[in-house]
Amino acid sequence: MIRFDPEQKSFHLRNSFVSYIFHAGATGRLHHLYWGAPLETFSPGRWALDPLREDLKPVRPRISEEVHPQEYSLWGCGDRRPGACSLRLADGSAAAELLYRGHEILEQPVYPPGLPAVRQDHELGAAEAVKVLLEDPRGDLRVELYYTLYEKSPVLLRWNRIINGSEGPILLRDPASAAPDLPPDAYDLLHLSGAWGRERHVRREPLSSGSFSIGSRSGASGHQFAPFLALCSPEAGENQGCLYAATLHYSGCFSASAAPDSFGGCRLSIGIGGLEAALSPGESFDTPAASLVWTAEGFNGMSRAFHSFLREGVLPREFRFRPRPVTINSWEAMYFDMDQEKILNLAAQGAAVGAELFVLDDGWFSRRVDDRSSLGDWWANPDRFPRGLGALAEKVRERGLAFGLWVEPEMISPDSELSRKHPDWALAIPGREAVTVRNQLVLDLSRREVRDYLFDCLRRVLEESAAVYLKWDMNRTMSEAGSPPLGRERQGETMHRYMLGLYELLGRVRRAFPQVMLEGCAGGGGRMDFGMAAFCPRFWASDQTDGVERLAIQYGSSYLFPPETLGAHVSAVPNHQVGRMVPGRSRALTALAFSYGYELNPAELSPEERSLFREFSQRHKEIRRGVLQGEFFRLEGGPSEGGRREGPAGSPRETAWIIRVAAGRELLLFCFRPFCRPNLLPSYLKLSAGLPEGPALYRETRTGELYSSSELRYKGVRVDRVKGDYQAFFRRFIREDEGT
C-alpha cells in the first residue's frame, strides 16, 4: 500500500513485510525517513529534522543538507557525500540538487524499457507503484524515481529516469538505481567476492571510516564481485539480525558503495558503472532496476526474500515448476576432442548413470578444434559431424537423452569466416590494437545487424537440432570497448548499449523458443545476476567443479539464487582445476541439492562409481521437486561466519544447508566436513533453521529413527568422527505428526 500524506508530503510504501518512508522536507529535498518492519502509523513531524529548522526555511542558501538522510541526492549543493550520480552540466558545472515537484501513483508498475526487471505475469501479488518527480531548481535536470512494492514480497524495486531539462548537452556518469541514507548504527558490510573459479565467496567486514566500494568495469557483472551489497548489524547471522541489502537487475558494469557520513549513518548505493552518457536537451537515461531488501531475519531471511522474488517475479515462468533435467555436459569429459562416435558414447554412458539431458559443449562448430578459431561461425563442423547437427541430435535422443547445445554468440574469433566477412563487427577503438583474450574479440551487440546475424544463426541451430537447452557462454571481459558507429559523443555509452543489445537478442531468442532452457555462463559464474536471471532459469555457477571448492561457491551463490538455478556437476578426480581427490559420494552430495549433473566420462569410472552415480541421479530425481519448490536455508557455522572455520577444540566446522519442503512436511539436510582432525568427539549439527514453528515429529528415512523438532533444533543431529577428509552426509526427515 502506498500512502501519500499531502500535509507532510510523505510517502509510505508498506506491505506485510516492510515499510519504506521518505518525505519532501521543508526545503523540498527528499529525505529518507525509515526502512524496516511495517509501521501502522508514523509522523514525519516527530522524525524529520526539518521542523526544528523552520526558522531557517526561507533563508537561501539553505541549511547544509549534510544532516539529513537523503533519498536520492546529488553532490554539490549542500550535500558533500557521494552523489547518486555525477554530472557535467551544459555550463560545465557539476553541482546540482533535486527538489520534489510532484508524484503520480501508478495503476501499473512501470519498468525501465529494454532492461530486465519483473516479468509481466509475475506471481508476487498486487503491485503498488509510485513515480516521484524531482527537479533541479535551475531546471537543468529532472529525475523520476520509480518505486514498486508487491503484496507478497519484502523486495522493493527501484529505478530512475534522468532527463536533461536544460538547453545544452549534459554528461551523466553512473546514475545509481537507489542510494538511500541509512540511519546511524553499527554496520558490517556483506558482499560476495572472488575470481574465476572462486566466485561469490561470502565476505564480511566492519564498516569503518572511508567509503567502501565494489563494482565491475569489465563489461559483465564479473567474477570479482556480485552486483550486491548489504549492510547488517554486527550481531547478524544466518538467522537473526537486521540487514539492508541491494542487488542490481543488470549484467554489465556496475558500482555499489557504502559511504559512512559524519553522524554514523551510511549511504548505500547501487547502480550501473562505467557509463558516461551524453544526454542532449530533452533526452533521458533509464537506470537498471535494483531490488532492495530489509529483513530482521538475518542472511537466510534475505535469501528467502530474494529467492522467492526471483521465482515468482523474475525467472522465466515456463520453468518455474519444471524440474531441471539431470545433465551430462561434454566439456570436462572431452574438451575439444570430439567426434560423432565419442559424443554418442558419452551420451549413452550418461544415460546409463541416469542423465536426461546431453549438453554438447564447445568444439562442435565450423573448424573449432581448440580455442583459436571459429567463434561466430555457428554451423556444425563438417569433418566431425558429416551428417550435420540435426542427425547428431537425433542420435543423442535415440539414446534416451534430450539434446542441448553450447554457444558463445557474443564473441568472434579473428580467425573465422565471420571476421573475414565483417572485420568491423567487433568492439574497437580505431587506431588501437585490440587485445584478444582466449584468442577472441567481443562482437558489437549495440549494432542491429550484428544481433540479426546472431539471431539467425541461433534460430538455425535450434531448429536444426531441435535442442531444448542452450548454454549461453561469454568468456572474456571487454577491452577497447568502443563502437565507431555510435559516433564520438556516445562512446561512453558503448558497454551499456551493448547490454541493451544483449537483452534484446536474449528476449528475441526467448520469444521464438520459449521452451528452450537457457543456461547463463561466463567463464563459469562471471555474469550471474538478476539481469540474466530474467532469461536463464539455470546458471553454470563456476568452472570450479571440485567437491570442496564448490561448497563456498554454492554457499555464497545461495545468498541470492535459489538452488534449482545453480548448475552443479559431479566431475572427475583428480579434479581438473585443483587436483583434489574428493570421494565420489561427497562430490555427488555437494551437487545433489542444486541443478544436478555430470562433467565427466562415466566410461572412465569403476563399475562401483558408475552405480554410485546412477543411485545419486535417482536420489536427485526423488528430491528435485522439493529443491524446486522448497525453501533453502544455510545452517549456522558455514563460511558466512566471518571466516570462523573452527569449532570447539579446533574441530572443523561443518558447512550445511537444509531444504524445507512443503512447509516442513519434509526436510532435506546436507552436511559437509571437508577436513578430518584427530582426537575429537562426535559433534552435533543443530538445525538452527528450516524447522517449522511449534512442535513436530520427524522420522529420519535412513535409520527410521524418530526425532522431535526440539531435539533437532537444540541438540542436533549427531555427526560421527569418521576418518578421512571430505566427509559428507545427507539426511531426509519426513514429518510424522501431520494433522495430529
Distance CA 345, CA 358 (A): 11
CA distances (Å), origin 704, targets 603, 663, 734: 36, 21, 10
Annotated active-site residue in 174, 473, 529, 546: 473
495 interacts with ligand GLA by CB under 6 A = no
From the list 229-237, 495-503, 517-525, 575-583, the region that binds ligand GLA by CB under 6 A is 517-525
Integer-rounded Cα Rg, in Å, for the chain is 27
475 interacts with ligand GLA by CB under 6 A = yes
Distance CA 344, CA 334 (A): 12
| Pick from 206, 247, 255: nearest CA to 228 | 247
362 interacts with ligand GLA by CB under 6 A = yes
Q: What are phi and psi of 161, to 5 degrees?
A: -115, 125
Total residues interacting with ligand GLA, rule: CB under 6 A: 11
CB of 398 to ligand GLA, least distance (A): 25
Distance CA 704, CA 91 (A): 77
- Active site (annotated) includes residue 725: no
Which CB, 82 or 537, lies closer to ligand GLA?
Answer: 537
How does 161-188 read in b/e, with b if 16+ C-beta sit within 10 Å? bbbbbbeeebbbbbbbbbbbbbeeeebb
Which CB, 88 or 576, lies closer to ligand GLA?
Answer: 576
CB of 254 to ligand GLA, least distance (A): 21
What 703-712 contacts at long range (C-beta under 8 Å, 24+ apart), as own/partner pairs, is: 706/736, 707/733, 712/686, 712/687
546 interacts with ligand GLA by CB under 6 A = no
| Pick from 167, 140, 128, 139: nearest CA to 18 | 128
CB of 511 to ligand GLA, least distance (A): 25
Task: Give me the DSSP letters along 400-436.
Answer: T-EEEEEE-TTEE-SSSHHHHH-GGGB---TTSPPPP
Distance CA 508, CA 500 (A): 12
CB of 682 to ligand GLA, least distance (A): 39
Side-chain-facing half-sphere of 288: CA atoms under 13 Å: 34
CB of 538 to ligand GLA, least distance (A): 13
199 interacts with ligand GLA by CB under 6 A = no
Judge contact between 295 and 516, C-beta under 8 A.
no
Which CB, 67 or 334, lies closer to ligand GLA?
Answer: 334
Looking only at residues 376 through 415 of this chain, which bind ligand GLA when binding is defined by CB under 6 A?
406
Annotated active-site residue in 543, 546, 725, 737: 543
Give the one residue of 44, 524, 563, 690 binding ligand GLA; rule: CB under 6 A: 524
- Active site (annotated) includes residue 473: yes
Sort 502 into a burial class: Cβ within 10 Å, 0-12 / 13-18 / 19+: buried
From the list 316-324, 516-524, 557-565, 663-671, the region that binds ligand GLA by CB under 6 A is 516-524
Residue found under cell 519444471: 322
Give the one residue of 523, 567, 626, 637 binding ligand GLA; rule: CB under 6 A: 523
Give the one residue of 331, 364, 403, 698 binding ligand GLA; rule: CB under 6 A: 331
Which CB, 300 or 565, lies closer to ligand GLA?
Answer: 565
CB-closest chain residue to ligand GLA: 362
CB of 535 to ligand GLA, least distance (A): 17
Give the one residue of 128, 199, 361, 519 binding ligand GLA; rule: CB under 6 A: 361
Distance CA 473, CA 438 (A): 13
Which CB, 146 or 406, lies closer to ligand GLA?
Answer: 406
Which positions lie near ligand GLA, rule CB under 6 A? 331, 361-362, 406, 473, 475, 521, 523-524, 540, 543
Residues designated catalytic: 473, 543
